[in-house]
Amino acid sequence: MADLEERVQRLEAIEGIRRLKIRYAQLCDANYDPPGLTALFTEDAVWDGGDLGRYEGHDQIRGFWEGASKSFTFALHYMIGHTIDVDPPFTSGTGHWYIWEPATVNGRAVFLGATYDDVYQKVGGEWRFKQVNANLHFFTPYEDGWVKTPMMPMD
């Protein structure tokens, strides 16, 4: 078994990454606060949402949040069922999360179901996103549901 210091560092890293992801959720729910969200990413980070687009670096990532803040006028990001892995020296890590998101998009109530595969990096003592892969499983109008309309257009 690893020594006590290493075991504590592992638990502190997991808790720090958990807080990073919840901060991300809270800022998304605050109308996608573009500067606040961008600051959670490393300078060279990638946010890759598949059909939602791939954004690399702070400028592109901030632009993505600026667009989201116009079309998503309401959202609650329920981040659940996560696993976080970190190894010595505890300056990077990976995580898998589920998200359940009720939202209002261009005036329509929608449900979004997705998973995240993240890569984290510690920068200046703070955890940041190095890579976020958002894997969209459904994005459906409230009235339709994910069997009738699993993926509605974003615009």
Binding site for another protein (CB under 8 A): 4-5, 8, 11-12, 15, 19, 22-23, 25-26, 29, 74, 76-80, 100, 102, 104, 107-109, 142-143
Given phi > 0 = left and psi -120 to 50 = alpha, else beta, which region is 85?
beta
How far apart are CB 143 and another protein at their closest, in Å? Answer: 7
User: For 89-100, what is the HEC assignment?
Assistant: CCCEEEEEEEEE
Task: With H, G, I as helix, E, B as strand and everything else as coil, classify residue 76.
Answer: coil
Q: Of 142 and 151, which CB lies nearer to another protein in the complex structure? A: 142
Given phi > 0 = left and psi -120 to 50 = alpha, else beta, which region is 81?
left
Q: What's the token pair of residue 99? A: 């998200």
Q: Of 60 and 154, which CB lies nearer to another protein in the complex structure? A: 154
How far apart are CB 78 and another protein at their closest, in Å? Answer: 5
How far apart are CB 80 and another protein at their closest, in Å? Answer: 5
Query: Is residue 82 a contact partner of residue 100, using CB atoms and an 8 Å limit?
Result: no
Q: Of 8 and 123, which CB lies nearer to another protein in the complex structure? A: 8
How far apart are CB 12 and another protein at their closest, in Å? Answer: 7
User: How far apart are the C-alpha atoms of 49 and 96, rounded to whole Å?
Assistant: 14
Q: Of 55 and 140, which CB lies nearer to another protein in the complex structure? A: 140
